[in-house]
Amino acid sequence: MAQLFHPSFNSIGRVVVFGSAIMLAGLGSALALIYRSYYVTGSHLAYVQPVPFSHQHHAGELGIDCRYCHTSVETAAFAGIPSTEICMNCHQQIWVGSPVLAPVRDSYRTGDSIPWQRVHKLPGFTYFDHSIHVAKGVGCVECHGQVDKMPLTWQTRSLLMEWCVDCHRHPTDRLRPADQVFSMTWQVQEEMDPETSRPHSRASLGRQLTQEYGIRDATVLTSCSMCHR
């Protein structure tokens, strides 16, 4: 019986099959990298703002508490964008005639809000509440990074679902005492274990705070309805 295909087709077939598998795996890896890239997540990108506000100067050098500007962070889902009146509490007396602050003075005079560009954005189908995270001992730096070192504000975390879920699976690694939530410089070594009179480890302090705050287990924290309601 005559052979329909040349023997070389066996090699060609193998190349096509294995080559297609490698190409699909490579394509999947490339898409995963793009999905996590700065271009998609928007992290590490500083937005151009109508006023070049510096957290490094205000929170770092001057030591202004986060809550002075973000007034609703302890009581509401939204941390709050500072009103022009808050800015003018200081800038009616400091840098009064600075051209950089002209948009602030114009806003104060006209009552029109300053059109700040939002840096940290979550999809509309995602529910996030600042107040519950603050109440459970999650520090600002866990999500926003060292803002006290940012001359311009940028997003330091990916804010992807996998990042949120990882935190909900292992909350003990992110917890701190309630009076240190807004600190930019707190380190776990500063907290002493009253039983041993030695510094806490991150794990031991996290376990202790998990019980104190009444944080539920990962099964509850990672349920879909926790963030998608």
Q: What is the pLDDT of residue 45?
A: 85
Q: What is the pLDDT of residues 164-205, one digit of tens each?
A: 999 999 999 899 999 999 999 998 765 566 666 666 677 888
* Cα 108 from Cα 39, distance rounded (Å): 35
Q: What is the pLDDT of residues 106-118, one digit of tens each?
A: 999 999 999 999 9
Tell me, what amino acid is at 94? I
Q: What is the pLDDT of residue 41?
A: 75
pLDDT band, residue 35 (cuts 50/70/90): low
> What share of the chain in percent tops pLDDT 70?
85
Average pLDDT estimate for 36-59: 86
Q: What is the pLDDT of residue 3?
A: 58
Q: What is the pLDDT of residue 40?
A: 72
Average pLDDT estimate for 29-45: 73
110 φ/ψ angles, rounded to the nearest 5 degrees: -90, -20
pLDDT band, residue 44 (cuts 50/70/90): confident
Q: Which of 163, 162, 166, 168 is nearest to 217 (CA)?
A: 168
Tell me, what amino acid is at 19? G
Average pLDDT estimate for 97-103: 94
CA distances from 132 to 3, 126, 190 (A): 73, 15, 24
- Every domain of the chain and the residues it spans: 49-61+72-81+117-226, 82-115
| H or E element at residue 199 | strand 198-199
